[in-house]
Structures are given as structure tokens and as C-alpha cells.
Amino acid sequence: MSLTPALRDAAFRWIADDPDTDSRAELQGVLARAMGGDAAAADDLADRMAGPLTFGTAGLRGPVRAGSNGVNVAVVVRTTAGLAGWLRARGHTGLVFVGRDARHGSEAFCSAAAGVLAAAGFEVRVLPEPLPTPVLAFLVRAHGAVAGVQITASHNPPADNGYKLYLAGGSQIVPPDDREIEAAVAAVTSAVSVPRSRDWATVDPADVDAYSAHVSALPRGTARDLRVALTPMHGVGGRTAVEVLRRAGFTDVRVVRSQAVPDPDFPTVVFPNPEEPGAADALLALAAESDADLAVALDPDADRCALGVRERDGSWRMLRGDETGVLLGSLVLSTLDRTAHPDPLVATTIVSSSLLGSIAKAHDVRCAETLTGFKWLVRAGDGEGTGLVYAYEEALGHCVDPDSVRDKDGISAAVVACDLAATLKAAGETLLDALDRLAAEHGVHLTDQVALRFDDLSRIGALMARLRADPPPELAGIAVTAEDLLPEADVLRLTGAGVRVVVRPSGTEPKLKAYLEVVEPAGTDLAAAREGAAARLADVRTAVEALLTD
């Protein structure tokens, strides 16, 4: 495209208002090339100025770059000024925690956020180093803070960063708060004129240690004979996870050396997400080489946890998020203190397996389904999450201790998973045996996912519109009924006999996702039921792939 006067003027205004020297120079360079007739630079400039970023499933996320449609000091200053004004307008003043991961720009963005909040009159405490997101969520809840800001892009590609926001009680924001805060951000007229102060305190190491001490006490069993292979995937969770496991009694932990130290370039993985094909290869190799009993992968900010297991033929594979989810949920429910939790609730999302609901029913426990995202899961039931004892979503998010961390927490999930694996090992069993028991009792529930990545986000909207206008009457020979969840959510659900497909745009990545589930009664032959379910799932996957690519 060619450089328009409106785009040129918007870029000039942004440059004049940017408080960061490096970002100003970066955008000036792009603008100069565009003014010189470079069409690619004009396209780049248009994309950079296409903002502002908006709060998605888990906060703001975008590429680290200058401009309104990126994550940079100016955007962080504006966002935090809007947040501060919104909090004050509602009478919320007092303590705020600010933390960060180890991504590009995180330290500067953390300082910018802390500085704006301090100048606005809040009591600001900044985490002393890059630390897992669950540590910040724990501190917000434990200290009754009015808000918490974590600079992180979680499992996004290396070029990205983000801004994750917690409010009082330690939960992420939901509508209408997100739109109100965005309106407050839009009302910030000048980033360069927003006051900033260095008048903040560093979080006491004892407060950070309180998280580790609490999580290490979560195991319900006494068995500790377990060898664990672990990777933090170049993120910030490695040291905390190993320390928590050690305190819990799991001292035989082998860490993937090439991925042990935080590295914002994530050099050994294409995408630093345990869900991505190949991302856990180094972990599984270490598990095989070290004869481990369990493999654990954390995502870069350690709020997600994936488990790897040895198959009965000796090979290793990663469990699906649904498999881990029902294993941990079953453990929580089977060891639940009904005196402390007289009316317990578990929760999962509309795109996760329906098996948790069956398990909950067997334990006479309430089960709720929510929209995707932990901001909804922790509010399941009455809108406040009253009675919540466990929640999970298939995208490797598990909340095993909602009383303390009102969000997904990969480290606490890892500790509880090790507890389960060690207990099973002491009885001569593995996680696969536990999964077999659940299938025998509740039927075989197999899940899969089709994910299409797009550079042009408009194609995602076009695909969703086409599906809504002409939903398929059947999938793989099974009659299905379409249910459109608009306006509540941009989701189309297709259901039939023993089959469910949920199609939605990702809230954190440029992807269109389809979540598949088939359910097969186990009967007396579990192996045959698994085989039949696998064949049906493969047929459904083929049909969905064709549906999304036509």
C-alpha cells in the first residue's frame, strides 16, 4: 500500500508523544522508509498503527515494537494510566503488585507500569526478578491487593510480550471491566506527560517464598519415590518448580539443560508452547534417557503444565490437556475434605472434555461449563466461583488450589501430578492405569484439535461467517446440530450422537481452532472401545479439516 496522509500524521503524532527514545527512533525509521516510497515499510507502518491493543482472553498481547498496535513503553504507560484512573474512580486505592517474565522488553515495561502506578498514589511492590505468573496471582490474593500487573506473553512466539491484569481477589478482568479500562486508556491524551515515580518497593523475598512454601504442602499422599524430567521451556518457572518439588519431597528432578535458563529468544523451540508439535521433544528425550517416571513441561511463564508419560511399549508421549485435566480433577475430588468444602464445585470450559462432568456426578459434586479462559472458570457457578475446588481447560491450564491462586498455575499442577504419579507408582501403577479406570467407569472420551494459523486475521472472521451461514448437517456420517453462541461468544458448536465439535477463534494467537470430542461406551472391552473411538475421531477430524479449508 502507499503511505496516506492520515497514516503519516498518526505516526508523527505517536512519535512526538512516545516517552521512549529507542521506540521513537524505531518508528521514525519505518516512517522515513515509507515516505521514501517503500511499499513494504508503508504496510509495516499501517500494521503498527492499527491499534490500540485490546484485552483478550488473557490480557493484552502483541509484538514488541513501536506504534499503537504493539507492546512498548508508550503503550504500557497509557494502559497503566488508564488502569490507575479506572481504579481510583471506583474508590480502589492501596496495594498493587507488578511482576514480569524474562521476555524482550519485560524489565522496561515492568518499570514503566510500576512508575505510573506509584506516581498515581498506589502502594506499589515490584517482584525482585523475573518470576512465574502464578507467584504474582498468589500475592495479589494473599495480600488483598487492589490489582496486580504481570508483564508476560505466556506461551506466545518470541517476538511478543503482553500485559496481564488481576483485580482484587486475584482474578483476571472480565466484561464490562475490560471495556471500561480500554475506554479509560483511550482517554489518556499523552503518554509522554503521564507522571512516573521511582517510589515503589521491592517485594520481600519472604513473601515470594510464601508461595513456594504453600504450594509444596499441596500433595495429599505420602509416596515420594518418583523420578521427574522437567523443562521450563526457556521460561521463568524452572528454579521455582524445582524448589517447590524439593520441598514437597520430590528430589529426583532432571531438568532439560538446553531449556533450563530463561532465554527470550527461545532458541530450541519454534513456538514455546508445550501444545505445539515438537516443543516437548527434548523433554521426552530426557525422560527416556534418564528412565524417568513422569515428564513435566511448563510454559514460559509457568501458568500451564503438560505431562508426559511412558507408554506400555516403552515409548514416551505427552498427555493431552484433557487427560491431565481429568486425572487431576479425579484426584482432587477423591481426596476432598467435605467439611472444609460442603458444597464443592468443579469447572471446565465448553471446549474441554465432558468427562469431568461425569466424574463430578459420580462424586455428587457440582460441575459447571464456562466460556474459554480462566477469567470465566474461576467465576463458575454463581459468578464468584463460590465453592470452587478445581478447574481446568484443555489448553494445559489447571487450577488445583483456587483458594490461593485464582487462575491456572502450572507449578501447583506439577506438584499435585507428581503426588498422583508417586502414589500410583507405589501401588505398581501409572497414570495410564488411572486413565483406563476412568474410561471403564465413564466411557472412552477422546479429544483432538484442529488449529489453523493465519497471517491475515480477516480470514478467520470470514471462515466463521461462512460456517454460521451454512453449517454442516453432518460430520463423518453423523447428523449434527449447530448452535451459535453469539453474541455471548464467537463460538459455533456442532453436536451429534457421541460427537461434539466447537469452532472458535483463539483469544491469544492468530488461529482458528476446532475442538473435537467423541464418546464411546466402554462396555466389557475397553481396548475395542478405544479403537472404535479413535477411528471415529479420525473420521471427524478429516471432516472438520475439509470443512475449514473448503
Count how many Cα atoms sit within 13 Å of the Cα of residue 322 in the half-sphere of its side chain. Answer: 22
Please give the CATH superfamily to which domain 322-439 belongs.
Alpha-D-Glucose-1,6-Bisphosphate, subunit A, domain 3 (3.40.120.10)
Hey, where are the domains in the chain?
A: 51-203, 212-217+224-319, 322-439, 444-549
Mean pLDDT of 451-477: 92
Mean pLDDT of 109-135: 98
What are 369's strand-pairing partners?
A: 348
Quick: pLDDT tens for 230-263. Answer: 999 999 999 999 999 999 999 999 999 999 999 9
Burial (CB count within 10 angstroms: exposed 0-12, middle 13-18, buried 19+), residue 174: middle
Nearest-5° Cα angle at 479, 473 to 480: 65
pLDDT of res. 448 = 93
Q: How confident is the model at residue 549 (pLDDT cuts 50, 70, 90)?
A: confident
pLDDT of res. 550 = 62
pLDDT of res. 457 = 83
Least confident residue range of 38-42, 391-395, 405-409, 507-511? 507-511
pLDDT of res. 524 = 87
d(CA 466, CA 321): 29
Kindly tell me the sign of the dihedral angle through the C-alpha atoms of 228, 229, 235, 238.
positive
pLDDT of res. 1 = 66
N-terminal to C-terminal alpha carbon distance within the chain: 29
Q: Is the pLDDT of residue 205 over 90?
A: yes
Residues 6+ apart with CB under 8 A from 83: 117, 147, 149, 165, 181, 184, 185
Quick: pLDDT tens for 307-333. Answer: 999 999 999 999 999 999 999 999 999
Q: State the pTM of this model.
A: 0.94
pLDDT of res. 523 = 84
Question: What percentage of the chain carries pLDDT values higher than 90?
Answer: 95
pLDDT of res. 51 = 86
Q: What does the H/E/C string look like for 338-355? A: CCCCCCCEEEEECCCCCH
Quick: pLDDT tens for 124-153. Answer: 999 999 999 999 999 999 999 999 999 999
Q: Mean pLDDT over all residues of the chain?
A: 96
- Is residue 154 annotated as part of the catalytic site, yes or no? yes
Other C-beta atoms closer than 10 Å to the C-beta of 39 total 12
Contact 272, 299 (CB under 8 A): yes
Pick the CATH number of 444-549 from 3.40.50.450, 3.40.47.10, 3.30.310.50, 3.30.750.24: 3.30.310.50
d(CA 58, CA 204): 27
pLDDT of res. 456 = 86
Quick: pLDDT tens for 29-73. Answer: 999 999 999 999 999 999 999 989 999 878 999 999 999 999 999
Q: Give yes or no on whether 212-217+224-319 and 322-439 have one common fold.
A: yes
Selected catalytic residue, list 106, 154, 171, 412: 154
Q: Which residue has the cell 508476560?
A: 152
Fold of the 51-203 domain: Alpha-D-Glucose-1,6-Bisphosphate; Chain A, domain 3 (3.40.120)
Q: C-alpha cell of 65?
A: 515494537
Mean pLDDT of 80-85: 98
pLDDT of res. 510 = 84
Fold of the 212-217+224-319 domain: Alpha-D-Glucose-1,6-Bisphosphate; Chain A, domain 3 (3.40.120)
